[in-house]
Amino acid sequence: MPLNYVVIAFQLIAFLFAISVHESAHAWMANRCGDPTARMLGRVTLNPIKHIDLFGTIVFPAICLLTHFPVFGWAKPTPVDTRNFRNPVKDDILTSIVGPISNFLVAVCATFLLIILKLSSSFGGEVVSGMVTGGVNAQSGSILVPVCLLLYQFLIINVILAVFNLIPVPPLDGSHVIRHLLPEQALRVYDMVGWIALLALVYLGGGILDRILTPFLFVFQYILVTVKI
């Protein structure tokens, strides 16, 4: 199978896992904070079928693949009833930010495993460094190549999902921190323009979104390249 098809398959696997981790983390924290709504609907699970949104999980990622854009999208929102929270402000913030935090944890784990593979042999070092520089030898026949490719996609997609969701634009997770600081009138305006700002950021922002994501990706890539025995 050509390498580009393998990468696409791994991107889809990593994406489905990333959104499942993200949404199940929301559901788990909401339940811990007193709201069992998502748990009762079976959303505390890594089963992607429970989290799939027709457009955000299937159609939009397919468009990304066809246009050679990194696989991106979203899952079905986790239902949360803030009236059940014991501390509405704190619990809403915790439930919101735990999603991105869970994705960062997956990215850290993927980075740790890649570092282990890199330090395991000289060839492992070449393969892991090739993930970052784009110089992967797909014809080597070693199991290290697909393993490193999959782990690297887990790293990249989870970082992208985490950082994007922390942008303080409604309805992204980052907005749940800002909204509790705003007076009621400003909050209504904030929510009204949220979707417009989000669409503008994704479809018109171009370089803006790239400039937001790149520094975070660079940190992980820098660690992979520089860590040595």
Q: Is 217 helix (H, G, I), strand (E, B) or coil?
A: helix
pLDDT in tens, 25-48: 999 999 999 999 999 999 999 999
Provide φ and ψ at 58, rounded to 5°: -115, -60
pLDDT in tens, 102-134: 999 999 999 999 999 999 888 888 888 888 887
73 falls in which pLDDT band (50, 70, 90)? confident
CB 225 within 8 A of CB 129: yes
CB 161 within 8 A of CB 18: yes
What pLDDT sits at residue 67?
A: 72
Worst-scoring range by mean pLDDT, 95-104, 107-116, 142-151? 142-151
57 falls in which pLDDT band (50, 70, 90)? confident
List active site positions. Answer: 23
Question: Cα dist. 144→15, 21, 34, 54 in Å?
Answer: 21, 25, 44, 34
What pLDDT sits at residue 207?
A: 76
